[in-house]
Structure 1
């Protein structure tokens, strides 16, 4: 995907579908999209209700980011439907019973591609969309320089598991401690979003995200109550645009034991 979207369908070059344990991560930096005429074209991709929501946002920057987020979702998903040309303007969405957005595939009875799952996350300065096939996905992005107003350990004791608090308490450098806190937050939020049942279904203090011994960037999920860990959920943590942490969580419904493969495009 280019950072300059286009509403001309021939420019939406079809994309190869992700494999089962692969996540495609697309992102856009709002600051780099400056053309007002381009933003006007993007608004033509959105449904009337989406445009209404954009206009209800307070301030030009919030409206711009909301517009870019919906454009990113529509143009990305449309390009994966390689068996049929899908106009991004015709895509329809629904929410599950917990409010997680999904594509309403019932409107595409002739579409033979496996159903795509997607999830979107954004900060003021970056918008990202993760795409998988067959398995649910959750993503979260956080600014690496995000300021934490309260004491890190006090905040961790309020929201994190006991093991995560212990881990953070062993870090003497305040700056390193702050960054590790943000990484954990990003990973935990990605898991909750992958579950798709809302934050009440998995409060942050009911599970632990911990590094896998002998791996680089590998993480596992352990239940706080039982202290048991399982491989049903796979995680990836990376940096985007040198300024953000991005966490990806997908369900390994076949318990393959493999790692998450991530392709990134901006």
Structure 2
């Protein structure tokens, strides 16, 4: 079963941020400090904290995490074959999915101004799904849903945007992926749900079951202070 842990970064006050940024690796702290926007720094640190918390849930301990990357930048932990993970963030939310098998996850806030992207990188079937909605707000919501579904798939693949978004189509109702040459990916599926009213959260994996948990920052602080 896949586990999805989500954290609301609005719980991370500026004072708490000064505390928790010392609980992550030096590499992660340096990365966080490069951001000019404090919320970006908080998302960076909270993503690492969620990874550490997920490791504890999975194997019962947290030590040094040796992260490496594939040629497209997808991270994985060295010498840990049974812990696959993927991280996403948008607005106030940071989320991680983890399990024994590869997975991709994406979260996006529902907001207008991006729907025209569909004309360039969505399939005809996907565009119909969006533009057949009479209500403008519904079009924005369905665009966001499809966008997160497509992103979760390329994050599952671990290829990033080297896989063109218009090279495949996703049935937004069934989560089935079809490549442009007609091949149907029967081994994987994309699941999507409206999350916290104004976000969409999508996951792509071979697993049939998943659970979503909202993790409080103070839970993680207490755990890491015990280590």
Residue matched to 2:8: 29
* Preserved CA contact (<8 Å) 1:105 1:115: no
Q: State how far apart, in whole Å, the 1-side matches of 2:28 and 2:204 are.
A: 27
Q: State how far apart, in whole Å, the 2-side matches of 1:126 and 1:62 are.
A: 11
Residue matched to 2:193: 238
Name the structure, 1 or 2, with higher relative contact order (CA <8 Å, separation 6+): 2
Q: State how far apart, in whole Å, the 2-side matches of 1:183 and 1:44 are.
A: 36
1:203 aligns with 2:158: no
1:35 offset after TM fit, Å? 6.1
1:244 offset after TM fit, Å? 1.5
Residue matched to 1:222: 178
Gaps of 5+ in 1: 1-21, 107-113, 213-217, 253-259
Q: State how far apart, in whole Å, the 2-side matches of 1:53 and 1:155 are.
A: 30
Deviations 1:210-233 (A, max 9, x none): 045xxxxx3100112x23323121
1:264 aligns with 2:212: yes
Gaps of 5+ in 2: 215-227
TM-score of the aligned structures, taking structure 1 as reference length: 0.74
Q: State how far apart, in whole Å, the 1-side matches of 2:62 and 2:12 are.
A: 25
TM-score of the aligned structures, taking structure 2 as reference length: 0.86
Residue matched to 1:105: 79
* Preserved CA contact (<8 Å) 1:194 1:251: no
Question: 29, 50, 63: which is aligned to 1:51?
Answer: 29
SS at match of 1:171: coil
Deviations 1:181-205 (A, max 9, x none): 11000000000000001211x2111
Residue matched to 2:52: 74
* Counterparts of residues 19-168 of structure 1 (less than 5 Å): 22-34=1-13, 36=15, 38-82=16-60, 85-87=61-63, 90-105=64-79, 115-133=82-100, 135-144=101-110, 146-148=111-113, 152=115, 154-168=116-130
Q: State how far apart, in whole Å, the 2-side matches of 1:169 and 1:75 are.
A: 41
SS at match of 2:171: strand
What is the CA RMSD across the aligned residues, in angstroms?
Answer: 1.9
